[in-house]
Amino acid sequence: MQVPAPFEYERATSVDHAIQLMAQLGSEARIVAGGHSLLPMMKLRLANPEYVIDINDLKDELEYIRITDTEVRIGALTRHSQLLDSDELAAIFPIFRDAEKVIADPVVRNRGTLGGSLCQADPSEDLSAVCDALQASCVIRNGEGDRVITMHDFHRGPYETAVADGEMLTEVRFPIVPNSSSAYHKVERRAGDWAVASVGAAVAMSGSNGSSVIADGRVGLCAVGPNTTHIEPISAALSGQPPSEELYAQVGAIAAESCNPDTDGRGTEAYKRHLAKELTIRSLRKAVARATGQEA
């Protein structure tokens, strides 16, 4: 039986209270949101916090999807299932529904959160690729107030983020870009499993349908090694180009070269590189089709 080391449990009554507790308890305190990553790590003794601060009562402050004309703001405690179910979110960013359909299973999705996924920073976490493709920024709060940083600055490497002791992620913000769309493709060994590899793409088009070009494009890879979001050569290759199968293949090749997968029980390095290329092609093709009204 896997049993965590002894720990103290506190239930935060507000975001300010959670931050105050973290400041008071120091580096031995950890937030628990959905608990689907933290609790297994505690049972395996890979994480041994002395204090666990539960934020699940903070729905009013942290659980929401707010949409304006220019921006979507999602609270850190928003569950996977809410991201999956929101028709308004899917209409603007279809990549969320694509990804959430294939993240884990309903039990995990009912509890696991956007904030927990990003803060866990597991290189196989699908939402990091989604948020990077959508040029998200993260709101981090501490005793002094809020700071807002890009996804690129948020992720420091596998299992490492810019959230320091005494801080928490409260919100993720997404700009709404005109004439844009997005898509996500994942290959998993069986339904509900972590990815063998997955890829998210977002594009913004300019010009009319007949002669439209990709004004801006981003691709985020997942489960194929560290630092596979914000791949500059991909965005550079897409910028200003008319969409074509040749372009997608060229960018797919960059994706395969830019990642660093390991051979493991999910597949060989060569197979994962092949998936990085193929899923990049498919995600870009679908994102462009959606952005140009060729696919609902």
Ligand X SMILES: Cc1cc2nc3c(=O)[nH]c(=O)nc-3n(C[C@H](O)[C@H](O)[C@H](O)COP(=O)(O)OP(=O)(O)OC[C@H]3O[C@@H](n4cnc5c(N)ncnc54)[C@H](O)[C@@H]3O)c2cc1C
How many residues are recorded in the chain? 296
75 makes contact with ligand X (CB under 6 A) = no
103 makes contact with ligand X (CB under 6 A) = yes
Piece in contact with ligand X (CB under 6 A), picked from 8-16, 114-122, 171-179, 260-268: 114-122
Which residue stretches of 101-191 are H helix?
106-111, 114-120, 126-133, 151-154
Amino acid 238 reads L
Of residues 14 and 179, the one with the C-beta less far from ligand X: 14
Question: Quick one: which of 30, 230, 266, 286 contacts ligand X (CB under 6 A)?
Answer: 30
37 makes contact with ligand X (CB under 6 A) = yes
Which residue stretches of 146-201 are H helix?
151-154
Q: Is 282 helix (H, G, I), strand (E, B) or coil?
A: helix
Give the shortest CB-135-to-ligand X separation in angstroms.
Answer: 19
Contact 169, 76 (CB under 8 A): yes
DSSP helix, strand, coil percent of the chain (3-state; round to 5): 40, 25, 35
Return the H-helix or E-strand segment holding 273: helix 269-291
Give the shortest CB-276-to-ligand X separation in angstroms.
Answer: 17
Of residues 84 and 204, the one with the C-beta less far from ligand X: 84
104 makes contact with ligand X (CB under 6 A) = yes
CA 285 to chain centre: 21
The strands making up 29-32's β-sheet, listed across from edge to edge, are 8-11, 51-54, 29-32
Of residues 120 and 283, the one with the C-beta less far from ligand X: 120
What's the distance, Cα to Cα, between the start and end of the chain in Å? Answer: 48
Give the shortest CB-152-to-ligand X separation in angstroms.
Answer: 18
29 makes contact with ligand X (CB under 6 A) = no
98 makes contact with ligand X (CB under 6 A) = no
Question: Quick one: which of 113, 137, 228, 280 contacts ligand X (CB under 6 A)?
Answer: 113
Question: Quick one: which of 42, 168, 197, 275 contacts ligand X (CB under 6 A)?
Answer: 168
Contact 183, 95 (CB under 8 A): yes
280 makes contact with ligand X (CB under 6 A) = no
Residue identified by tokens 């028709």 is 87
Residue identified by tokens 């004309």 is 69
Q: Is 280 helix (H, G, I), strand (E, B) or coil?
A: helix
Enumerate residues 116-135 that contact ligand X by CB under 6 A: 116-117, 119-120, 125-127
Question: Quick one: which of 12, 15, 31, 205 contacts ligand X (CB under 6 A)?
Answer: 31
82 makes contact with ligand X (CB under 6 A) = no
Around 225, how many Cα atoms within 13 Å sit in the side-chain half-sphere? 19
Of residues 115 and 217, the one with the C-beta less far from ligand X: 115
Sign for the CA dihedral angle at 190, 191, 192, 195 comes to positive
Of residues 130 and 247, the one with the C-beta less far from ligand X: 130
33 makes contact with ligand X (CB under 6 A) = yes
Phi, psi dihedrals of residue 12, rounded to the nearest 5°: -70, 145
Of residues 90 and 108, the one with the C-beta less far from ligand X: 108
Of residues 117 and 180, the one with the C-beta less far from ligand X: 117
Give the shortest CB-113-to-ligand X separation in angstroms.
Answer: 3
In the complex, the residues that contact ligand X under the rule CB under 6 A are 30-38, 76, 103-104, 108, 112-113, 115-117, 119-120, 125-127, 163, 168-169, 194
